[in-house]
Amino acid sequence: MRRAGCILGLVFIAPAAQAATLTIRAEGVASAQGMIYAGICDTSFDERTCPYRDREAARLGTVELRIRNVKPGSYSIAVFHDTNGNGKLDRNILGLPSEPYGFSNDVGRRGPPNFDAARIVVREPSTTIVIPVR
């Protein structure tokens, strides 16, 4: 019985798995139509490389998305305002976004977003990032 108590004691003193809450403040939302989507990506802006995603109903002004249990580390974040509710970022005939969007560190305003320039660090217990949506 003493041995079981020792093992149980080790379980209780083992460190908790590292996890953080990431709060994304999408600022400048121009309407309450549709949804705000966010992808928290670790290797590229390809949606398949975004281990964390969230969405929230659009509201005029600022929309906060809270993603819990994010493994601390470096990520790049993409946000877009799906104004027509079709679940994707619409593009014009030239392939440019026709719905409001933004990236961490406000990259991608004058050309394709640079993934490395968009990197932010998520730390425990929480990290907040502001992303202008234009």
Three-state SS for 103-122 is: EHHHCCCCCCCCCCCCEEEE
pLDDT tens digit sequence for 8-58: 444 444 455 689 999 999 999 999 999 999 999 999 999 898 999 999 999
Bond preceding residue 100 cis, omega within 30 of 0: no
pLDDT at residue 11, as a whole number = 45
Number of other residues whose CB lies within 10 A of the CB of residue 103: 23
What residue ranges do the domains of the chain occupy?
A: 18-132
pLDDT classification of 73: cutoffs 50, 70, 90: very high
- Please state, in angstroms and as integers, the Cα–Cα distance from residue 60 to each residue in 11, 17, 108, following that order: 47, 37, 23
Tokens of 93: 């005939």
pLDDT at residue 30, as a whole number = 97
What phi and psi, each to the nearest 5 degrees, are found at residue 64?
-100, 130
Q: Which CATH class is domain 18-132?
A: mainly beta
pLDDT at residue 109, as a whole number = 83
pLDDT at residue 12, as a whole number = 47
pLDDT at residue 6, as a whole number = 46
What phi and psi, each to the nearest 5 degrees, are found at residue 81?
-100, 105
pTM for the predicted model, two decimal places: 0.85
pLDDT tens digit sequence for 78-134: 999 999 999 999 999 999 999 999 999 999 988 889 999 999 999 999 999 999 999
